[in-house]
Structure 1
Amino acid sequence: MSQNQKQKTGRSLAGIAGIVAIATLISKLFGLIRQQAIAAAFGVGVVADAYNYAYAIPGFFLILLGGINGPFHSAIVSVLAKKPKSEAAPLVETVTTLVGGILLVLTAVLILLAGPFMDLIYPDLSPQVKSLAIQQLQIMAPMALLAGLIGVGFGTLNAADMYWLPSVSPLFSSITVIIGLGILALQLGKQVTTPEYAILGAQVLAWGTLSGAILQWLVQVIAQWRAGMGTLRLRFDLSRPGVKEVMQVMGPATLSSGMLQINLQTALFFASAIPSAAAALNYTVLLVQTPLGIISNMILVPFLPVFSKLAAPENWSDLKIRIRQGMILTAISMLPLSAIMVTLAFPIVRLVYERHAFNREASQLVASVLIASSSGMFFYLGRDVLVRVFYALGDGETPFRISIINIFLNAILDYLFVGIGPFGAPGLALATVVVNFTSMVALLWLLDRKLKGLNWQEWVIPILGLVASSVEAGGISWVVTQIYQQFLPTKTLFSQLCQLGLAAGAGLAVFFVLTSWLNIPEFEMFTAKIRQKFVK
């Protein structure tokens, strides 16, 4: 490959990553607005709580099967990339027919057995929450079918070099829920405490979510059709070349990806005994996952092909350098953000959610969960970086085994922290942080053995220095917040935004100054990337 070709490929990959990042940001912005609308309408009350329990089951499939980089998406892309375009449509139609048939049966089971499922998975729900959740689950059950179809559509469109629509399409679910809540507000106004409002509100959330999933699938089908990558035709040609290959990739990948979702279900099992815990966890997830998702794209997307190219034993010395770079960049981005979010959790929650039904008490509950959850952001992303290294080395078995162990560890910690412990809802988030920490340490230890040493002395001092700088950043943010609250009111949205901006800005400024004195090469890379993005 010539140098010009390499540069062209690099620019192409960078362009794709940019498209995905922008589309994902837009989608997450609408997701934030959706969460704000739900918070304003229902706070952390029974409707929001019931919705989160009901959504957990179909949402499990939507995230697992229908997400970008999910097993269906990855299987379709990996197989179609090796096939001529003329073979794409029959292959996609056959896989869609097979997957659709299996998930259609599952959808029927969810509708018919919604009540027993709720009793089995969430045994300690209050009668009112359980009743609403069963109704919502029956409405949203078809999302299990749609999840598989959306996942296949993601992969098909990406294989056809179409990235914008799949990445931005999740916003349809947010839009339909927002519209539904707007109509509900116009009809019922402030009658938020009546039983009729609770029942109708629960139905609006469920039907809005289902409508969004249908729209997401339909726009993909239309784009797929126009690209010549398959229609709604039913095909039962299971002997067609490529079908078996797709299913062989889908099976293990689905099982492996499902480990994280099983941990979520475990947390909700224990949350069912705590009023408003599910709603608090859901509001927190968006606040943590939004920066994590954006920053993980910035780190993982460029490093993945690099890890793969250096997987041969003769390149391991360079691979170790790249692993260190990935982990140090993760620390540079995650540690200060984590420290600032811990110290500013309450102002962040107030700014984003506190209005109408979402009151001060709700802010305190969600802020306590946010403190626990955001404390482990470095462990979450660091683990993801190391998992990708194992994949690049052709070893998917090790991360899978650790994921299985984590399921049992997570259940034990949930029981210790929440079942018999005093932590309540924050304990569920804390258990996840501990699991991610142990996963990262285990992966590092196994990678050290696999690569015959990772030169730990080159890691310890920089990371300890970054930890110290982050603690200072968090401390400064807290001091600025206290001074601001002492002299200025924080009742208006603008005042809260100013408080948060000043405190977070001061913390980040201190972190950058202190870290610049540490002479960490990766910090120079990080700041160079920022200058490259914003200084033309």
Structure 2
Amino acid sequence: MTKQRSLAGIAGIVALATLISKIFGLFREQAIAAAFGVGPVVNAYAYAYVIPGFLLILLGGINGPFHSALVSVLAKRDKSESAPIVETVTTLVSLILLVVAVAVALGANFCIDVLAPGLNPVDHRLAVLQLQIMAPLAVFAGLIGIGFGTLNAADQYWLPSISPLFSSLTAIAGIGFLFWYLGEQINAPAYFTLGSLVLAGGTLAGGILQWIAQQVAQWRSGLGGMRLRFAWQLPGVQEVMRVMIPATLSSGMLHINVYTDLYFASFIEGAAAAMRYANFVVLTPLGILSNTILVPMLPVFSRLAAPEHHLELKARIRQGLLLSALSMLPLTAVFVALAKPIIDLIYKRFAFEEDAALLVAPVLMAYGFGMFFYLGRDVLVRVFYALGDGETPFRVSIANIFLNALLDYLLVQQFETPGLVLATVGVNVTSMGVFLWLLHRRLNGLPLWEWGGILLGLMGCSAIASAASWGFSSLWMQHFGSDNIFLLAGEVILSTAIAFGVFLGLASGLKLPELNILLARISQKLFRRR
């Protein structure tokens, strides 16, 4: 099997598993929207989940610093060396995060005060309760991230990519119980506390189940188990820490931008809930495609880190960026053109009414606009990690904190909630430019003008595709309307197909080999050869 086919196979496994997880995640968000709308329970949850969610994404996510550090180190070593390294790292991380979990639980009120000084008393009380319940996720986040990295380094991709569905299943089960027990009273003020207990408790239970599933697979594969080990002197452990510590700090600095956004959002009614719903819609395809692109490429970047392989590394960087653009920009066209009908189709039912849809739709447009820049920045960060450099992304992230705060302050006054999202887009655009320039210097030159011209051309294709999709959607509304879910689904599906068709038609004129790679992978999965 060739390396190219091997990468395609890994991408296919990750894509399918992530797709299943995201589908269940979508069901979870639909259940939350139907039960609580943009009311106090879900608005409080948006703030209470900031710290646990930050840790789950930062430490426990695929492509997070724990995952990236372990893959970059273990991929270069024999499997027999993995268990001592993994168990030592697990011991150290668990001890540190246990202290963090206790601190979060005891200081929940202070944390919510800092995160959201503008919250009303009801939302504040519910957010504190939910944060206290979810505080143990601090420990499990680190353990999940270690499991992701360990299993991926051993070429196991299915379980790590599908395991997040446990969180969705537990949340859906809890909300289903509430619907059965309370009926239409589920969003009544008298039951805000009960709804908060179920929502936060289901999130915690899902994280625990995810870790257990990974731990079983890790133990069966001989990659380390639940054993305390203090072999700090192992070279592999020290190498993991050299990458993990600055990478964690770098990613942590990036997530401080989320805190800054939510600080401003706490003064706008329903803003946090709107950002949560819109962000999930974007993260569903973004998560699938980012994992498909980044997970198989990180070990490749690591293997090409030596100077004699830098020519091929440059080719892989271009491939990662253009695959990101080719997969994200047509989605940008769709989300910008069809934000309102998409929100109506996914969420508009029961407690989620027209006013909620009108609040969320512009936020979705803003998130959609920044999809490529988010993924492109992640591709470039992984190149630095593969080069054993976590310090450079950390320094850039520190500067980004101040830039994001400035943009938040300026843009929220003009655009309110969508302005907070556009501030993040501005930060990601700036980060991409800085990372490309630094890699240009480190790798003795990148064809930046050539790459920039291609990316501008693809952005133009996206703009035309978005206009075509919006035009068809407008015609559909004039002739058929969207009075029921079938008409609404028809509008979204056909308008989306037009956006993709126009984008691919225009992009094909650029004669990009990356487009052929992308289409070949899609056709390989849809029409498997015998």
Among 340, 350, 360, the alignment partner of 1:356 is 350
1:468 matched to 2:447? The reply is no
How many angstroms apart in 1 are the aligned matches of 2:516 and 2:80?
A: 47
How many angstroms apart in 2 are the aligned matches of 1:93 and 1:237?
A: 9
Which residue does the alignment assign to 2:91? 97
Which residue does the alignment assign to 1:515? 507
1:165 matched to 2:159? The reply is yes
Among 403, 414, 419, the alignment partner of 1:422 is 414
Structure 1 residues 487 and 315: alpha-carbon distance in aligned structure 2, compared to 1, 3 A threshold? same
Higher mean C-alpha deviation, range 381-390 or range 136-145: 381-390
| 3-state SS of 2:502 partner | helix
Q: How does 1:192-207 map to 2 (within 5 A)?
A: 192-207=186-201
How many angstroms apart in 2 are the aligned matches of 1:88 and 1:519?
A: 43
**Maintained 8 Å contact 2:35/2:187:** no
Structure 1 residues 530 and 11: alpha-carbon distance in aligned structure 2, compared to 1, 3 A threshold? closer
Structure 2 length as normaliser, TM-score? 0.91
Among 327, 330, 334, the alignment partner of 1:336 is 330
1:498 matched to 2:490? The reply is yes
Per-residue deviation, residues 451-491 of structure 1 (Å, max 9, x unmatched): 45544553454434333322221111111111111121313
Higher mean C-alpha deviation, range 169-178 or range 376-385: 376-385
1:367 matched to 2:361? The reply is yes
Among 120, 142, 148, the alignment partner of 2:142 is 148
Q: Could you tell me how far 1:445 is from its partner in structure 2?
A: 3.1
Higher mean C-alpha deviation, range 117-126 or range 330-339: 330-339
| 3-state SS of 1:431 partner | helix
How many angstroms apart in 2 are the aligned matches of 1:21 and 1:490?
A: 32
Q: Could you tell me how far 1:318 is from its partner in structure 2?
A: 5.7
Structure 1 residues 504 and 158: alpha-carbon distance in aligned structure 2, compared to 1, 3 A threshold? closer
Which residue does the alignment assign to 2:169? 175
Which residue does the alignment assign to 2:219? 225
Letter of the structure 2 residue corresponding to residue 437 of structure 1 = V
Letter of the structure 1 residue corresponding to residue 62 of structure 2 = I
Q: Could you tell me how far 1:261 is from its partner in structure 2?
A: 1.6
Q: Could you tell me how far 1:504 is from its partner in structure 2?
A: 1.2
Among 422, 425, 433, the alignment partner of 1:433 is 425
Per-residue deviation, residues 245-268 of structure 1 (Å, max 9, x unmatched): 444443222112222222111111
| 3-state SS of 1:39 partner | helix
Higher mean C-alpha deviation, range 173-182 or range 480-489: 480-489
Letter of the structure 2 residue corresponding to residue 516 of structure 1 = S
Letter of the structure 2 residue corresponding to residue 430 of structure 1 = L
Among 118, 123, 127, the alignment partner of 2:121 is 127
Structure 1 residues 33 and 505: alpha-carbon distance in aligned structure 2, compared to 1, 3 A threshold? same
Per-residue deviation, residues 389-416 of structure 1 (Å, max 9, x unmatched): 4445554433332222111111111122
Q: Could you tell me how far 1:235 is from its partner in structure 2?
A: 4.3
Per-residue deviation, residues 475-513 of structure 1 (Å, max 9, x unmatched): 111111111111213132222111101111122222223
Higher mean C-alpha deviation, range 23-32 or range 89-98: 89-98
1:265 matched to 2:280? The reply is no
| 3-state SS of 1:69 partner | coil
Which residue does the alignment assign to 2:268? 274
How many angstroms apart in 1 are the aligned matches of 2:340 and 2:295?
A: 32
| 3-state SS of 1:190 partner | helix
Q: Could you tell me how far 1:314 is from its partner in structure 2?
A: 6.5
Q: Could you tell me how far 1:56 is from its partner in structure 2?
A: 0.7
| 3-state SS of 2:349 partner | coil
Higher mean C-alpha deviation, range 359-368 or range 152-161: 152-161
How many angstroms apart in 1 are the aligned matches of 2:475 and 2:402?
A: 45
Letter of the structure 2 residue corresponding to residue 149 of structure 1 = L
Q: Could you tell me how far 1:518 is from its partner in structure 2?
A: 4.1
Structure 1 residues 515 and 83: alpha-carbon distance in aligned structure 2, compared to 1, 3 A threshold? closer
Letter of the structure 2 residue corresponding to residue 127 of structure 1 = P
Q: Could you tell me how far 1:25 is from its partner in structure 2?
A: 1.3
Q: How does 1:101-120 map to 2 (within 5 A)?
A: 101-120=95-114
How many angstroms apart in 2 are the aligned matches of 1:127 and 1:70?
A: 35
Letter of the structure 2 residue corresponding to residue 147 of structure 1 = A
Letter of the structure 2 residue corresponding to residue 426 of structure 1 = P
How many angstroms apart in 2 are the aligned matches of 1:246 and 1:314?
A: 23
1:380 matched to 2:364? The reply is no
Higher mean C-alpha deviation, range 257-266 or range 151-160: 151-160
Q: What percentage of residue pairs aligned between the two structures are identical? A: 61
Aligned residues: 528
Structure 1 length as normaliser, TM-score? 0.90
Q: Could you tell me how far 1:36 is from its partner in structure 2?
A: 0.7
Letter of the structure 2 residue corresponding to residue 478 of structure 1 = W
| 3-state SS of 1:357 partner | coil
Gaps of 5+ in 2: none
1:34 matched to 2:28? The reply is yes
How many angstroms apart in 2 are the aligned matches of 1:235 and 1:440?
A: 39
Which residue does the alignment assign to 1:3? none
Higher mean C-alpha deviation, range 228-237 or range 111-120: 228-237
How many angstroms apart in 1 are the aligned matches of 2:90 and 2:439?
A: 38
Letter of the structure 2 residue corresponding to residue 495 of structure 1 = L
| 3-state SS of 2:351 partner | coil
Higher mean C-alpha deviation, range 199-208 or range 110-119: 110-119
**Maintained 8 Å contact 2:250/2:395:** no
How many angstroms apart in 2 are the aligned matches of 1:221 and 1:301?
A: 20
Structure 1 residues 39 and 486: alpha-carbon distance in aligned structure 2, compared to 1, 3 A threshold? same
Higher mean C-alpha deviation, range 121-130 or range 459-468: 459-468
